[in-house]
Structure 1
Amino acid sequence: MARAANVGPRRSDGIRASFDCAKAESLVEKIICSNQMLADDDVRLMSSYKAAMAASPDKAAVKDAQRVWMAQRNACTTLDCVSRAYQLRIKQLDTSH
């Protein structure tokens, strides 16, 4: 069975993020892997990030902004916070190119 590129293996409950949920360690990773919509957002964000990187003449700035966003996302302790962080970042990435 074919899998989308850069999408982690499915957990036994079928949730798949852009990383391997079986290796989720941080609270945010566990939150993402516990919710299909967040896992889908994670995959979508990875796609948006790759598109922004491909389109940007300043790849270092895109990487730096992603690192800042990840630090903010990783400060989240609730599903709602993580979800809001993803929605905002996807919108930022999609409008940047």
Structure 2
Amino acid sequence: MKTAALAALTLTLSTAAFAGPGFDCAKASSNVEKMICADQTLSDADSVVSDMYKEVLSTAGNPNHVKQEQRQWLTKVRNACKTPDCLAKAYDMQYNKLQRDRLAGSGAVNPNGSIGH
């Protein structure tokens, strides 16, 4: 059983319908992609993180930096996982980071996470 690493995504996942991960499972080639496709919770988490990434990217002042950070997360964090529990934690951490970036980009919070001027 997975840990509570996806706690930040629970409300989002429970209130939305998903079509699957942000990639085509028929073309899944790595062990990580296969783990994601085999687990509905991980598949949903991938979809949520993919959507959040696209939102942050569309409003970013420096989209190349956002792309670089996402690629680094994919290769160094997500793709380094060997277990579903590791993937759940990786998605939870990336969702939280992207959420902070989204809020900072909208002006709702400062880039350091504080509120106010």
State if a TM-score over 0.5 links the two structures: yes
TM-score (norm 1): 0.81
Is 1:76 the counterpart of 2:81? The answer is yes
Deviation (angstroms), 1:16? 2.3
Aligned partners of 1:16 and 1:91: how far apart in 2? 20
What fraction of aligned residue pairs are identical, expressed as a percent? Answer: 40
1:1-97 matched pairs, under 5 angstroms: 16-71=20-75, 72-97=77-102
SS in 1 for 2:99: helix
Give the 4+ runs in structure 1 shifted more than 3 A.
none
TM-score (norm 2): 0.68
Structure 1: stretches of 5+ with no match in the other structure: 1-14
- Computing the radius of gyration from Cα coordinates, the structure with the larger value is 2
Aligned partners of 2:92 and 2:83: how far apart in 1? 14
Aligned partners of 2:21 and 2:101: how far apart in 1? 23
1:4 aligns to what?
Answer: none
When the two chains are superposed, the root-mean-square deviation of aligned CA atoms in Å is 1.2
When you count helix as a share of all residues, which structure comes out higher?
2
Aligned partners of 2:90 and 2:47: how far apart in 1? 14
